């Protein structure tokens, strides 16, 4: 995305380089494309606004919302022209929404822009590029609209269309007293996990009752005691439009990661909400709702793409019915017409013949086919003949495509048709039209469209079922009351209820669009031709050269490419009034030797496009025979080649000292290689060749005598090739290069020593350049720059901002160095995994470079040595991601893009299918029941090993925030290995052998995250790949006193009994909790009470959060499972706020001796104070660093790469109260 943003640099191009720079035509901004055959407009994506486009299209296709917004006039909302006036109250957001809806309805463009709307939101370029949640946007946009419409007649627009209420009731079983609470909603949020569909979840929410009994009684205010009760919820008020949000995204507390639920979740096209409502005495139709929009999310929980399926209620678009063509509709009475009707060549020729200029844009050709025959190209011909544009390209003998392939026309030999042929063509179209189902406007066939940003496609209603499940699945549902009827005048009428001022604005905009498209079409129909006048040229040195000056010899002519060669010839005759004799127009090209004529343009009735004349073509105007009295050979075969010939010459008259001379010579490409001897006046000798690619003097090839009759082209020589000619008597004194320097027969060295005065310590100080007396100083400078490695070859960057995906108003950085080409990548890289702003280095490499070679280059540039390094790609949260394991794969194959950051990480990657993991030793602090004490373990290890433990100051308490972990070493193991095999291999580590562990059954294995045990690995015979450890996994071992066999439902907890009268706890003890009956608080309390032999009602328990030094009491209140519920919907300690898991610390308080509410210890107070102090120090450090970085950026001009935290979605609205 950030590649190809650099300015072109032509500073190294020599002014003596052949060829004259062509005049570039500056192409203005082209007008937007017209609407496609659906006649509906999409919305352009601003970078990451697909979620916004989907919601806006849904609101646009809600006619009641759209018309209610249109009903608010300028007298209430103000005018956009007054928005910059200080005292004017202009409600910008509703006004911009009005304009956007009017553009979607009336403006003839493929896609509308939301830039003005997002500007009214107060969004910056960064916010437009950031992905957000569409459910969040729905609530925020409605809130912003309500705020914007305060004080207008539309103040209740959102409330009137989308507001509903839910009533929650609790009925006392004793006195029948009803306690109720009413909730408002604009959208209903329903669960997806463990639910089969929408109706099932609504039944769980609004039909089933929740019973309070046994140890979970309800306190009735009337009875003033705990009683049995029933809780239920019902829909009290239904809105005209019901919005339903599906909870697709969840959090896995076992794996500690987010995930998207892609399970099947059905929803009906029409739903009856009567069973879920409080009042059910109305007619059934009052509870019926029809689906009209489905917003779909494609991707995962960290990113993706939105598009929307929408039902066209007002039939504003052209929708093609998708039923298959019935074989019974075939007309058996006209077999010849049917056969021709199945021939796409005949059908397309017929359509083009009916066009006024026999020319039509390719995009409109498909629409014409659909309009005249009632059937699209994709439906009728694509399966057999491929896409329409490709079909036109495969038939150049009939169809003529423009250079940009935007328009198509018939060749001239196909334009003349007999009247009988035209009649048969009309019959063909009539036959196709009678066979096709046509455009179905039947109200019984709903018109559904898939709107994906700018693109709009018709779909079938049954296609919605494909969005029930998968990575691309429904995310928001929109229903409308079945009783809402649209007036007949609104059907297929996009101007219905649109305000007059917007109608005028859109009509004027459409006229302007038509004018711009006409101007653009006219501008795109002209060529820039360079006319080379034959009388002003002379032929010498094997090519054509201007006799006087290039200004007088070359004329520039702008010409319409739709005109013929005869018209071009006539125009040139008029320009050259003094021309005598025949005029021949030939295509010429500039070559290093000069100008060469290739072929003659014949056929005055051919257009320039048909004659394959390109924009910027060089046209040679002459008599077709000779120039300046010299007969000219034309064509590719005799193209002049400029060759550099090296040979020996005497250094002076009568001198016997020879020196090597390089001289340019021009030969026709079809000349024999032996012509070199004739040009040099040498009777015979040896010829050695060196191509341009290998001009370093290391790859010379001798030409055998039998190949002297071959042509230069047959020998593979081209412009710039080197030829070394050696006399036949010079065999003993070879002229081949030795160690990069040329030597002659007298062993004299011809070179210059170039010194490097550039201020750089890493570059070479001097270099020797081979030269002759005829070498140009410019060439010496270029060679020296290359040898000294001061700079590589300069490559200009020709990408447009659109191709580089850069928006107007974006900030770009200008960096030292050369721009990468389209095949190169601009990458950042850094050492280690702890990255600070400004610590990255950058590099430009080829995208075809392998990971291994890229690693070597980065190591060399960073000054690192060794082979124990690998590359990791920085992930979306700026942390070290997965390593690049395939070292032989190219960067392009691994989807590395310009702007990515790679991290140089120390350590060699394991082979494929293996894991390399650090192994730690873990001993919980002051844990009873373990066979080894900390002192004993410390003695078991060498003096070099140190514990990483926090100081144990203060009273006894729970395990400190910093866990004691001792590094044992790295271990490489196959993913196919089992857990017990991992334990066995870990026991073989030298550090573990000192502990004298008797059996693998006495070891627990934990994963390590944030330097503390995280997930307990159980089931010894399970393969490691089933745990999904990942390539960054770390493990720790814990020693046990006795063997244990934890089941899948067992949870290991560290329990500590609080010491009465003190702010301290006893030693921790392991407790195994069987969660087969559920993760409820009551079940845990009962297990703890049984373990400590205490009454369950006389204990209080709390979970300890060591990273916060806080205790969270686990409430004894718990919802019971409803007796009539089909699905379990009970509270679980796995969820918030407890998130209970293996290894958590549980504090127990005996209420018989200690009845206060405080669970904290002295160490907790100290830890909180330390956290506050560290947070304050970090804040000050960040402020200092930010100030220093700001000064550095402003003074030194170095662009620092700051990365801010994720920002929430917001819309800024002015106050109108």
Catalytic residues: 50, 305
Dig out the tokens for 533 from the structure. 């006048």
Q: Distance between CA atoms of 719 and 592, rounded to whole angstroms?
A: 7
Burial of 882 (0-12, 13-18, 19+ CB in 10 A): exposed
Q: Give how far Cα 332 sits from Cα of 337, 338, 557, 921, Å.
A: 10, 8, 58, 86
Phi, psi (rounded to 5 degrees) for 394: -80, -5
Per-position DSSP letters for 930-950, written without gaps between them:
-S--HHHHHHHS-TT---B--
What is the gyration radius of the CA atoms in the chain, in angstroms?
A: 41
- Residues 690, 697: contact at Cβ < 8 Å? yes
Q: Distance between CA atoms of 980 and 989, rounded to whole angstroms?
A: 15
Q: How many CB atoms lie within 10 A of CB 1039?
A: 17
Dig out the tokens for 813 from the structure. 């950085």
DSSP 519: H
Which residues neighbour 86 within 8 Å (Cβ) at sequence distance 6 or greater? none
Q: How many CB atoms lie within 10 A of CB 1188?
A: 11
Per-position DSSP letters for 859-920, written without gaps between them:
HHHHT--SS-EEEEEE-TTSSEEEE---TTSBTTTTT--TT-EEEEEESPPPPTTEEEEEEE
Q: Distance between CA atoms of 361 and 320, rounded to whole angstroms?
A: 21
Dig out the tokens for 49 from the structure. 């606004």
906 forms beta bridges with: 869
295 forms beta bridges with: 308, 476
DSSP 730: -
Dig out the tokens for 675 from the structure. 């012509």
Phi, psi (rounded to 5 degrees) for 455: -100, 140
Please work out, in degrees rounded to the nearest 5, the angle formed at the alpha carbon of residue 215 by the alpha carbons of 211 and 216. Answer: 40
- Residues 270, 477: contact at Cβ < 8 Å? no
Query: Nearest-CA neighbor of 723 among 681, 751, 695, 683?
Result: 695
- Residues 101, 66: contact at Cβ < 8 Å? yes
Q: Distance between CA atoms of 98 and 71, rounded to whole angstroms?
A: 10
Phi, psi (rounded to 5 degrees) for 1184: -65, -45
Burial of 365 (0-12, 13-18, 19+ CB in 10 A): buried
The rounded Cα 583 to chain-centroid distance in angstroms is 56
Q: Distance between CA atoms of 351 and 425, rounded to whole angstroms?
A: 9
Q: How many CB atoms lie within 10 A of CB 956?
A: 18
Phi, psi (rounded to 5 degrees) for 817: 115, 180
Task: Report the Cα–Cα distance between both ends of the chain, in Å, rounded.
Answer: 44
- Please count the residues of the chain: 1217
Phi, psi (rounded to 5 degrees) for 772: -125, 180
Q: How many CB atoms lie within 10 A of CB 510?
A: 15
Alpha helix segments (H runs only) across 545-591 = 550-553, 565-575
Q: Distance between CA atoms of 833 and 830, rounded to whole angstroms?
A: 8
Q: Give how far Cα 1199 sits from Cα of 336, 815, 816, 828, Å.
A: 72, 8, 11, 13
The angle that helices 134-148 and 92-106 make with each other, rounded to 10 degrees, is: 120
């Amino acid at each position: 995305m950030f590649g190809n943003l650099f300015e072109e640099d032509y500073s190294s191009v020599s002014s003596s380089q052949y060829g004259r720079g062509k005049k570039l035509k500056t192409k203005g901004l082209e007008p937007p494309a017209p609407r496609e055959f659906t006649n509906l407009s999409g919305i352009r994506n601003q970078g990451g606004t697909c979620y916004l486009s989907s919601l806006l299209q849904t609101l646009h296709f809600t006619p009641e919302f759209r018309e209610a917004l249109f009903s608010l006039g300028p007298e209430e909302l103000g005018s956009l022209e007054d928005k910059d006036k200080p005292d004017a109250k202009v409600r910008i957001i509703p006004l911009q929404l009005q304009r956007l809806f009017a553009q979607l309805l009336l403006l003839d463009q493929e896609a509308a822009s939301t830039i003005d709307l997002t500007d009214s939101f107060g969004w910056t370029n960064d916010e437009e590029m950031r992905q957000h949640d569409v459910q969040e946007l729905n609530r925020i946009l409605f809130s912003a609209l309500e705020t914007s419409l305060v004080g207008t007649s539309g103040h209740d627009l959102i409330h009137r269309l989308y507001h509903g209420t839910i009533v929650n009731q609790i009925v006392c079983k004793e006195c029948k007293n009803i306690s109720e609470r009413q909730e408002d909603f604009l959208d209903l949020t329903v669960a997806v996990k463990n639910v089969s569909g929408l109706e099932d979840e609504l039944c769980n929410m609004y039909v089933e009752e929740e019973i309070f009994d046994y140890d979970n009684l309800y306190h009735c205010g009337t009875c003033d005691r705990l009683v049995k009760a029933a809780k239920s919820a019902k829909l009290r008020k239904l809105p005209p439009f019901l919005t339903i949000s599906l909870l697709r995204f969840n959090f896995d507390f076992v794996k500690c990661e987010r995930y998207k639920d892609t399970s099947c979740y059905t929803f009906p096209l029409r739903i009856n909400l009567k069973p879920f409502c409080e009042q059910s005495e109305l007619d059934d139709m009052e509870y019926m709702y029809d689906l009209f929009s489905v917003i779909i999310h494609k991707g995962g929980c960290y990113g993706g793409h939105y598009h929307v399926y929408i039902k066209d209620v007002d039939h504003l678009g052209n929708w093609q019915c998708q039923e298959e063509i019935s074989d019974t509709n075939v007309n058996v009475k006209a077999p010849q017409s049917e056969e021709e009707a199945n021939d796409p060549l005949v059908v397309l020729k017929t359509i083009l013949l009916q066009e006024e200029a026999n020319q039509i844009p390719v995009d409109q050709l498909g629409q014409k086919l659909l309009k005249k025959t009632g059937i699209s190209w994709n439906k009728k011909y694509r399966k057999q003949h491929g896409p329409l544009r490709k079909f036109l390209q495969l038939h150049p003998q009939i169809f003529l495509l423009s250079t940009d392939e935007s328009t198509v026309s018939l060749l001239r030999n196909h334009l003349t048709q007999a009247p009988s042929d035209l009649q048969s063509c009309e019959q063909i179209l009539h036959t196709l039209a009678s066979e096709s189902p046509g455009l179905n406007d039947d109200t019984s066939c709903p018109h559904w469209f898939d709107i994906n940003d700018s693109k709009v496609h018709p779909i079938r209603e049954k296609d919605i079922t494909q969005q029930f499940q998968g990575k691309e699945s429904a995310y928001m549902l929109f229903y409308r009351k079945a009783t809402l009827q649209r007036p007949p005048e609104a059907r297929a009428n996009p101007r219905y209820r649109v305000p007059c001022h917007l109608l005028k604005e859109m009509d004027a905009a459409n006229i302007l669009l038509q004018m711009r498209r006409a101007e653009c079409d006219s501008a795109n129909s002209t060529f820039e031709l360079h006319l080379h006048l034959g009388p002003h040229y002379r032929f010498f040195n094997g090519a054509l050269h201007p006799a006087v000056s290039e200004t007088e010899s070359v004329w520039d002519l702008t010409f319409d490419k739709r005109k013929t060669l005869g018209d071009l010839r006539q125009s040139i005759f008029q320009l050259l009034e003094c021309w005598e004799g025949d005029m021949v127009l030939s295509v010429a090209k500039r070559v290093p030797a000069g100008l060469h004529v290739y072929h003659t343009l014949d056929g005055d009735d051919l257009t320039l496009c048909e004659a394959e004349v390109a924009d910027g073509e060089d046209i040679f105007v002459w008599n077709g025979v000779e120039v300046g009295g010299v007969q000219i050979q034309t064509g590719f075969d005799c193209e002049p080649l400029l060759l550099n010939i090296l040979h020996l010459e005497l250094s002076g008259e009568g001198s016997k000292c020879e020196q090597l001379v390089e001289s340019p010579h021009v030969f026709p490409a079809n000349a024999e290689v032996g012509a070199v001897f004739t040009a040099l006046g040498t009777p015979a000798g040896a010829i050695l060749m060196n191509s341009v690619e290998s001009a370093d003097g290391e790859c010379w090839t001798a030409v055998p005598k039998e190949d002297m009759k071959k042509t230069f082209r047959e020998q593979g020589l081209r412009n710039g090739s080197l030829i070394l000619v050696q006399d036949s008597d010079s065999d003993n004194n070879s002229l081949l290069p030795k160690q990069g320097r040329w030597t002659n027969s007298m062993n004299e060295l011809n070179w210059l020593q170039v010194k490097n005065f550039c201020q750089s310590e890493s570059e070479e100080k001097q270099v020797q350049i081979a030269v002759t007396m005829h070498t140009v100083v410019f060439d010496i400078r270029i060679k020296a720059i290359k040898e000294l490695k001061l700079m590589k070859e300069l490559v200009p960057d020709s990408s447009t901002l659109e191709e580089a995906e850069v928006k107007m108003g974006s900030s770009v950085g200008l960096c030292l160095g050369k721009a990468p080409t389209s095949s190169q990548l601009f990458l950042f890289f850094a050492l280690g995994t702890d990255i600070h702003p400004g610590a990255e280095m950058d590099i430009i490499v080829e995208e075809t470079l392998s990971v291994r070679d890229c690693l070597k280059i980065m190591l060399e540039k960073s000054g690192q040595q060794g082979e124990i390094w690998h590359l990791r790609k920085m992930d979306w949260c700026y942390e070290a991601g997965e390593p690049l394991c395939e070292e032989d794969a190219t960067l392009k194959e691994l989807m590395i893009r310009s702007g990515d950051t790679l991290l140089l990480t120390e350590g060699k990657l394991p082979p494929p299918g293996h894991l390399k993991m650090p192994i730690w030793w873990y001993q919980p602090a002051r844990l009873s029941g373990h066979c080894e004490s900390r002192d004993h373990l410390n003695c078991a290890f060498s003096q070099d090993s140190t514990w990483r433990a926090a100081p144990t100051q203060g009273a006894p308490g729970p395990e400190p925030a910093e866990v004691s972990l001792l590094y044992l070493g790295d271990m490489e193991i196959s993913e196919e290995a089992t857990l017990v095999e991992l334990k066995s291999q870990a026991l073989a580590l030298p550090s573990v052998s000192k502990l004298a562990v008797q059996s693998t059954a006495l070891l627990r294995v934990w994963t390590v995250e944030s330097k503390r045990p995280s997930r307990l690995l159980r089931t010894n015979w399970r393969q490691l790949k089933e745990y999904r450890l990942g390539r960054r996994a770390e493990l720790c071992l814990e020693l046990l006193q006795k063997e244990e066999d934890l089941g899948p439902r067992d949870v290991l907890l560290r329990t500590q009994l609080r010491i009465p009268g003190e702010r301290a706890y006893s030693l921790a003890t392991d407790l195994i909790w069987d969660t087969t009956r559920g993760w409820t608080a009551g079940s845990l309390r009962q297990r703890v009470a049984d373990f400590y032999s205490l009454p369950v009602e006389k204990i209080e328990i709390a979970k300890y959060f060591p990273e916060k030094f806080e205790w969270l009491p686990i409430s004894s209140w718990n919802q019971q499972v409803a007796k009539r519920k089909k699905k379990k919907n009970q509270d679980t300690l796995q969820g918030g706020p407890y998130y209970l898991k293996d290894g958590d610390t549980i504090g127990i308080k005996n209420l018989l001796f200690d009845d206060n509410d405080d669970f904290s210890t002295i160490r907790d107070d100290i830890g909180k104070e330390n956290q506050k102090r560290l947070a304050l120090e970090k804040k000050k450090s960040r402020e200092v660093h930010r100030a220093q970085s700001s000064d550095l950026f402003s003074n030194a001009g170095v662009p620092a790469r700051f990365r801010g935290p994720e920002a929430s979605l917001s819309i800024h609205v002015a106050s109108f109260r």
